[in-house]
Chain A
Amino acid sequence: DAGVTQSPTHLIKTRGQQVTLRCSPKSGHDTVSWYQQALGQGPQFIFQYYEEEERQRGNFPDRFSGHQFPNYSSELNVNALLLGDSALYLCASSLRLYNSPLHFGNGTRLTVT
């Protein structure tokens, strides 16, 4: 039973560029959340998707957008990259049920130069 998978594992981009990160949820899960983790800090909530719609959003600018596909996989897009966007981007999947645990992938390490 595959867990949450993310691609790519590492990525280097230049300021101003755009990036797309991908996530496949754990088998049986229908909800995908994205988190940003800066070095030495806990993950911060970006947004959550289920039924192909953004359901809740954290304190991130509109440069961060996402998408969920009918097979529950998801993409995170970041436009006009800033140096401060360098971080580990984590995808987590869960059941839609309230208070069901989130299961995380190993993340994509994004470096903006």
Chain B
Amino acid sequence: GENVGLHLPTLSVQEGDNSIINCAYSNSASDYFIWYKQESGKGPQFIIDIRSNMDKRQGQRVTVLLNKTVKHLSLQIAATQPGDSAVYFCAENNAGGATNKLIFGTGTLLAVQP
């Protein structure tokens, strides 16, 4: 399958610990952000999104934090499980209302140790 983990920053955590994956985005005009999970051989899977008028949003076991001052986005995963092992991408939309054109970051490989 597709090995998307080559040359990527890697975060290694123990099963059960909390994980924090960070992302610096490029455009201060971006107003919508998404986190995706990509497993080997599969396409990116939607995890959670956040609009620029918010600074925090929670889902099931995941929380996204947005700091517009420093153009920083983070994804927190609670009680990390082996099934969370994948490459995680942040993406931003800075199309100014025109369309949904996502710009992806380089990705972080999350490795969960049992």
Binding site for B on A (CB under 8 A): 4, 31, 33, 37, 39-45, 48, 55-56, 58, 88, 90, 92, 94, 98-107, 109
Contact = CB atoms under 8 A, between A and B. Distances in A.
Contacts of A88: 2
SS of B interface (majority): loop
14 contacts: A33-B102, A41-B106, A42-B105, A44-B104, A45-B103, A48-B99, A55-B99, A56-B95, A58-B101, A88-B2, A90-B43, A98-B100, A99-B49, A104-B44
A9 to B, nearest CB: 9
A76 to B, nearest CB: 14
A33 B2 contact: no
Across chains A and B, which 8 residue pairs bring their CB atoms closest together, nearest first?
A42-B104, A104-B43, A40-B6, A99-B32, A106-B43, A40-B7, A104-B44, A56-B99
**What's the interface size class on B, roughly?**
20 to 34
Interface string B1-38: 01111111000000000000000000000011010100
B98 interface: yes
A106 B44 CA distance: 8
B83 interface: no
A98 B97 contact: yes
B4 A102 contact: no
Given A45-B101, A105-B43, 14 more contacts: A37-B2, A40-B4, A42-B89, A42-B104, A42-B107, A45-B102, A48-B99, A98-B98, A99-B51, A99-B100, A101-B46, A101-B49, A106-B41, A109-B2
A48 B101 contact: yes
B43 A4 contact: yes
